[in-house]
Structure 1
Amino acid sequence: MKNRITDVFFDLDHTLWDFERNSALTFEKIFLKNDLDINLDVFLSSYIPINQRYWQLYALDKVSKEELRYNRLKESFVRVNFDVNEEMISCLSEDYILHLSDYNFLFDGTLEVLEKLQANYKLHIITNGFKEVQQLKLKNAQIHHYFHTVTTSEDVGVKKPHPLIFEKALSVAQVQPRQSLMIGDNLEADIQGANRAGIETILFDPDDKINHIGQKINTLKELETLLI
């Protein structure tokens, strides 16, 4: 594989950027900022699956960006039986986006792997995340300089797993599918989506919870063996 691959495409959230850890710290900050006395762990236990479901709906164009940002919070507060008005939910929704990139923990091995890979490959990002936030994450985590291109769903108008976002990313990178590799944590959006565009894939599954017959890694360091 490594003899013909010239360009490596990464998902960002849950693959390089430790979304759950950074998100938890953000909620801790904005709850304190807005004087909300709520148990963070209890809130997150409801919020995490609700947020995942809304991102799936967003990928299918069944909810808008605004609906995702507001409703995931509203449903989470209802689920944990915490009374909060609509004005506060809107405020928290804005604060969350404002402060999310304040925290930039990466998965173990990210910097070392990117540093080594860049010597042999052109590196790129393909993400369904919101454009303005993703750019800040890359910059504040000090990894933006590793990537030749960043393709977001908002740039293209469709979201992974739609083939068009992968085709656009390939076009911008000026590379053919057979020379490309996609690495991501989402089986449908990253792996199946890229495969349909003719791109080889590696699933990143740090918790080893996903059944997958294709290439899979549990740590980013494994990429050194596979690609270097």
Structure 2
Amino acid sequence: MNLFLHGLTPTIYLGDTIYEPERGERYDVILTNPPFGTKGANQVPDRDDFTIDTSNKQLNFVQHCMNILKPGGRAAMVLPDNCLFEDKAGEVFEILMQDCNLHTILRLPRGTFTPYSQGVKANVVFFQKGLPTEHVWIYDARANVPGVTKKSRPLTREHFREFEAAYGADPAGRSPRTDAGPEGRFRRFHISEIKERGYKLDITWLKDESLEDADELPEPDALASEAIAELEAAVDGLREVLAMVETNGNSEL
């Protein structure tokens, strides 16, 4: 709908991005987020082009996008916090960082998706296909930033002015950048540091003082939504373990 409203004529396919074979098309730029909903939950896709077997739809979508990029193609993906560390995230991002330059992660402000999914904490992950990752730059636009609300503090372009300046003009993330140090918002992490963490990308360094201020705490419904999201992520992880146990048990019969 957004494409039509902006005068673009898109090609739209009806199908399942994760569980159906991809169409063989390759793209220069991908701007996207993982699909929502429960269809196919807890099922491992039967896809030869997926290196890591997992029932986590978000991680499978990362694999899908990595595969359909052209060499030199760029992607920016919105991913929830738990996608950076849970399940088989480390394995998926290890493969991605071997084939792509995952150069930047933007930690979005709390409440970015208010009023739709206000409890979801999310990030934008930027990568380019064709060169391995040497450094990952992380910009924290969340710590000590008042949470976004529908009326009193709506999300605006101003939330991202400093990030845009730090990111630089090169869309592939190759502009000169400066590590702001442990008290700053923009930090650089060498691939060796990422490897030590098992390629999991939930890296933080700023103490969020705003969470100690009762006036800055998220609204109760936002806290409830966040708790639900974390519980659902935990349940998905347990289901993954159960599926592995059942598979191993059947193979021993």
TM-score tier (shorter): under 0.3
Q: Which has the higher contact order (CA 8 A, sep 6+)?
A: 1
Q: Which of the pair is proportionally richer in helix?
A: 1
Q: Which has the larger radius of gyration?
A: 2
Q: Which of the pair is proportionally richer in strand?
A: 2
Give the alignment's TM-score, normalised by structure 2: 0.24
Give the alignment's TM-score, normalised by structure 1: 0.26
